[in-house]
Amino acid sequence: MNKLKQLLHKQRSNSDSKRNFSYYWKLIRDALNGSEQDFTSLRLSKAIILLAIPMVLEMMMESIFAIVDIFFVSKLGSNAVATIGLTESLMTLVYALGIGFSAGTTAIVARRIGEKNEKEAARSAIQAIFLGIFASFIFSIPGILFPKQLLLMMGATQYAADNYSGFTAIMLGSNAVIMLLFIINAVFRSAGNAAISLRVLVLANSINIILDPILIFGLGPIPAFGIEGAAIATATGRGIGVLFQIYMLIIGKGRIRIRLHELTIHWNTMLQLVKLSAGGIAQYLIATASWVGLVRIISVFGSGAVAGYTIAFRIIAFMLLPSWGLSNAAATLVGQNLGAEKPFRAERSAWITGFFNMGFLGIISLILIIFPHWFITFFSKDVSVIEHGVQCLQIVSYGFLFYAMGMVMSQSLNGAGDTFTPTLLNFICFWIIEVPLAYLLSITFHLESGGVYYAIIIAESILTILSAYMFYRGKWKLKKV
């Protein structure tokens, strides 16, 4: 009898395992294929998985742009790598506007989708696209006209400014495609169809990976453009990605469809989006401008320090961007559930996602702390670059658990439409704490570039604690969008 019970129990366990495998495999396929779901009524764990999988992969695709460029350009020497790092520091201001508009777009589109008002969601999407195009001129004009001066201002050597400024001119001059890539993908994510955002970046990355070595080193009749080839490849890949986004908005069958006769400015919607995005833009400008200040401090210690920092943070970005995908999933769920008048469900989705993110980044941090040399030497064999890169990678990785929860809390507040609170916290933590502390530790206390990295984890940890507290207080539930 006991043997019979054991046999029946084993058969039942095997059957349950098969059902579970089948269930999760179908869930993964649905997430990657994209499907129309009501995320305000779907079981919360399922909703998080359906949104998080394509968003995590999307962020990984975004980080591949940076990794691929560094991999090929590193063959041109440390001055070329340093130029990419300094240009990226300037580009963070472009990313700030793009991500800031994305935060406003996410809040308003997700709220309208939660209210089942798809027409207004589409109207908001159109206005966000217009704003992105207008804003791109702020950076494209000076980027095209004064690339050398901008590099010298950032601490580049005269040699780098004279020989590699073409990269800076192309990257800043073509920033409109970056802006639109961020904004339109935010539209798709907010509507609950993150799979389209993923496909856009898979397409853009594939083109970039193919073109990068061809345009940098040359192939047959195609001349070697050097570092400028990396910029051309990136701009081309992203540009084609944007064309695909527009095609899907006009021809696609998703919740949000744009018709050509609707491509007009609606001032009320535009002003509402500007007001909502202002906090998000200021928030990311404060955060990213502080990174410009940190790079300026690091440049005091030479090209090796800047190159090591650049490579290390490309690796860190590759590891952290999947967590931004999880954070974006939380923001979408918070916005849609508030629109459906389910604030408790919105709150639970953020905390669950936050703890899951901590588990993920906890594992990643251990890998980077234990094996930093493997990652850095993959990109450079220069002894000075390796030394600085390993130091940056190890120190900054100690703060990953804090970054994990902090990302989710900040994005959840943004998804609720409360962009002011993260803005205020960013100003306190990055400009009152991080930048002065980085200067104090690196220059005054002679810790050199290591002092900058210690300042980063201290400031980010404080930011996480404050963000979690403000989210716990719950005033964001009352925010009207």
Whether the Cβ atoms of residue 477 and residue 338 lie closer than 8 Å to each other = yes
Instruction: Please state, in angstroms and rounded to a whole number, the distance separating the CA atoms of residues 323 and 318.
Output: 10
The structural domains of the chain, with segments of one domain joined by +, span 42-478
Alpha helices in 34-77 (DSSP H): 44-73
Q: CB within 8 A of 10, min separation 6: which ones?
A: none
* Structural tokens at position 32: 């990657």
What digits encode the pLDDT tens for the residues 148-199?
999 988 888 888 889 889 999 999 999 999 999 999 999 998 888 888 888 9
Instruction: Please state, in angstroms and rounded to a whole number, the distance separating the CA atoms of residues 50 and 34.
Output: 8
Paired residues of 222 in beta bridges: 219
What digits encode the pLDDT tens for the residues 413-453?
999 989 889 999 999 999 999 999 999 999 999 898 899 99
Q: CB within 8 A of 348, min separation 6: which ones?
A: 44
Report which DSSP code applies to 254.
S
Average pLDDT over residues 243-267: 83
Angle between helices 449-473 and 267-298 in degrees, nearest 10:
150
Verdict on whether the full-model pTM lies above 0.85: no
What digits encode the pLDDT tens for the residues 103-157?
889 888 998 888 888 888 888 899 999 989 988 998 999 999 999 999 988 888 8
437-444 CB contacts, 8 Å cutoff, 24+ apart: 438/293, 438/294, 438/297, 439/297, 442/297, 442/298, 442/300, 442/301, 443/297, 443/300
Q: Count CB neighbours of 28 within 10 A.
A: 14
